[in-house]
Amino acid sequence: MNVLFEQIDRVVIAKLNRPNALNALNTETMYELITALKKYDKSPSVGCFVITGNENIFCAGADIKEMATKNFSQMFQEDFFGYWEVFSKIKTPIIAPVSGYALGGGCELAMMCDIILASESAIFGQPEIKLGVIPGIGGTQRLTSLIGKSKAMDIILSGRNIDVNEAENIGLVSKILPLKNFSKEVLNYAEKISNYSKTALIASKESINQSLECSLKDGIVFERRIFHALFNTSDQKEGMNAFLEKRSANFN
């Protein structure tokens, strides 16, 4: 098993499990991860995903051993790593807790998630330039949209690593958590999210992602329509009644 899955209450934890290759992503790992996420995504009893490595390594990128001997025709015909596009269609919020290295495809995997929680030991980078290639799972696009052209050029063209403080300053990381009790803190954070209305979570994620695809004017209309639509859900009634009755909401 390249990925281990565990469900704790409404949180599904997917743990990359290739310690001898520093959790490098090969084709099998990609299929295992995405196939399971697709299944859990549909379950009303799952409110949040956590995709994690271990405290020493998040992921050292795409598996260089798998790629090294491939030629253009093979990459093109197999549409190598094209299946990662399915990952972007997952509706449930996904947290990437990064401790240790998140390099290349590892950094790209973290960026494909919705929230990056980093420990004090996290190190990010897109070192593909040193291998004679470029990022291939959206690095040039997502990093640029997250941190701007100037910083993305610096990181991708130099191939240098950045530490957690720089990653937070440039807006790559959502939040830094202490290394001590990192897993516990991540789970607390994920559990909190997972207990909100799944419909409202999906709507929030979709609306935020929409902002990257359209004009501000169109995005504001999109958001307002979804806001209106949520008044047709029992979760909106429960959330607002709970507030008025001074109790905690119990969402579906």
Decide if 171 contacts 147 (C-beta within 8 A). yes
Q: Catalytic annotation on 85?
A: no
**Binds ligand DAK by CB under 6 A, chosen from 11, 12, 16, 22:** 22
Kindly determine how many residues on this chain lie close enough to bind ligand DAK according to the rule CB under 6 A.
21
Supply 233's token pair.
């859900």
How far is 117 from 189, CA to CA, in rounded Å? 9
Cβ atoms within 10 Å, residue 122: 28
Determine the distance from the C-alpha atom of residue 138 to the mean position of all C-alpha atoms in its chain, rounded to a whole number: 12
Q: Which helix H or strand E contains 191, and what residues bound it?
A: helix 182-194
E strands, 26-82, are: 48-52, 57-59
Kindly state the smallest distance separating residue 85's Cβ from ligand DAK, in Å.
Answer: 10
Phi, psi dihedrals of residue 196, rounded to the nearest 5°:
-75, 175
Q: Is 53 a catalytic residue?
A: no
Looking at the Cβ atoms of 13 and 25, the one nearer to ligand DAK is 25
Among 16, 60, 90, 95, contact with ligand DAK (rule: CB under 6 A): 60
What are the residues whose beta carbons fall under 8 Å from the beta carbon of 206, sequence distance 6 or more?
Answer: 91, 226
Residues 161-200 binding ligand DAK (CB under 6 A) are none
Question: To the nearest whole angstrom, how small is the minimum distance from the Cβ of residue 98 to ligand DAK?
Answer: 13
Query: Of the listed pieces 47-55, 87-95, 97-105, 197-205, which binds ligand DAK according to CB under 6 A?
Result: 97-105
- Among residue numbers 107 through 166, which ones bind ligand DAK (CB under 6 A)? 127-128, 131, 136-137
* Residue 108 falls in the annotated catalytic set: yes
Q: Does 104 bind ligand DAK (CB under 6 A)?
A: yes
105 is catalytic: yes
* Residues that are catalytic: 62, 105, 108, 128
